[in-house]
Amino acid sequence: MIGLIQRVSQASVSINQEVISEISAGGLLLLGIEAQDTPSHAQKLAKKLLNFRMFNDDLGKMNLNIEQAQGALLIVSQFTLVADTQKGNRPGFSKGASHEHGLTMYNAFIDEVKQQTQLPDLHIATGQFGADMQVALINDGPVTFTLTV
């Protein structure tokens, strides 16, 4: 399981030119799911995401996690994150999860984030698994990190 987290001042997901999810300041997580991923991977990545300090404190240091910064979270499935790009010029997707397994792990990850959050009112928005989505964002910083477990 691979996550690409971006600190954003706003982000949204649209399908067929209709916005289905949006957040203001917080984090946009693009989530790649591999064939061997398990609920344990979802649990570990959710913990890492919620504790990852990528928001500035009063001194401008990245010392705050998403909850401490009172940010929102947008989680979008992104199967291309698990692509093999080592050989040739065409990405390979043999490491990626099947549609069924990917959907199960995507939902398990979202459930883990909701269960592990210390803020019951943390705004968590999602994309639509398997859909052709358009993701719009304003990257704040820019700040972007790869999270793996």
Catalytic residue list: 80
Kindly list the distances between the CA atom of residue 39 and the CA atoms of 32, 69, 112, in Å, as whole numbers in the listed order.
14, 27, 9
Query: 94 is written with which tokens?
Result: 């043999």
Provide the 3-class DSSP secondary structure of residue 134: strand
Give residues with Cβ within 8 angstroms of 137, minimum separation 6.
Answer: 6, 8, 10, 11, 12, 28
* Helix-helix angle 39-51:99-116, to 10 degrees: 40
